[in-house]
Amino acid sequence: MHKISRLEYRRQKEGDAIGLSGLAEKVIVTSLASCYSELEIKFLLERNSKENLLKKLENRVFHIAEDKISKEIIGAIAVRDTKITFFAVDPKFQKQGIGKKLFSLVKEKVLFVHAAPVAVPIYLNLGFKVKGNVKEAIPGGELESVLMTYHAA
């Protein structure tokens, strides 16, 4: 784990798709490989490719945690309607409150998330409740996630 004290929290800007895609790849390959098959990992990587993230940047607001000096994107969260559609913190910087801070920026808008099974404890810690499993059809199979709901206090 690397300590970082020079973070800036901001909204997305032009050019963030490359950094967001790199962040997504780090999290998918290191954190989600334990609960998803090779086919599912390939699908998730494609869903979070630079090209697909460029499209997502057009119809939702991303909140970014960025290293002020290196300008590297360390974490990000996005909500569309009332669903978290992207939430990632670089594995090297997890367990430092970055995810909590990002979530605090959007929690008034959030009602639910489809969480990767390995991420359920993170969402429970943020105050979400498990409602059940969800299966999404993907090319060659299906992707299982956990439906979790949130009610702001």
Cα angle value 71/66/150 (rounded, 5°): 160
The pLDDT, as a whole number, for residue 1 is: 56
Spatial separation of the C-alpha atoms in residues 49 and 20, rounded to whole Å: 9
Task: In whole angstroms, give the CA distance from residue 116 to residue 129.
Answer: 14
Predicted local confidence at residue 148, as pLDDT = 97
**Please, what sign has the CA dihedral across residues 14, 76, 28, 19?**
positive
| 124 touches 97 (CB < 8 A) | no
Rounded to two decimals, the pTM is 0.92
Q: CATH assignment of 7-149?
A: 3.40.630.30
Q: What is the mean pLDDT of each run of 10 residues along the chain (153 residues)?
A: 79 93 96 92 95 91 94 96 96 94 96 96 96 95 95 72
- The CA distance from 60 to 56, in Å, is 6
What does the angle CA 35 – CA 95 – CA 130 come to, to the nearest 5 degrees? 50
Residues in the chain: 153
Question: In this predicted structure, what is the pLDDT of residue 151?
Answer: 83
Sign of CA dihedral 72, 96, 98, 118: positive
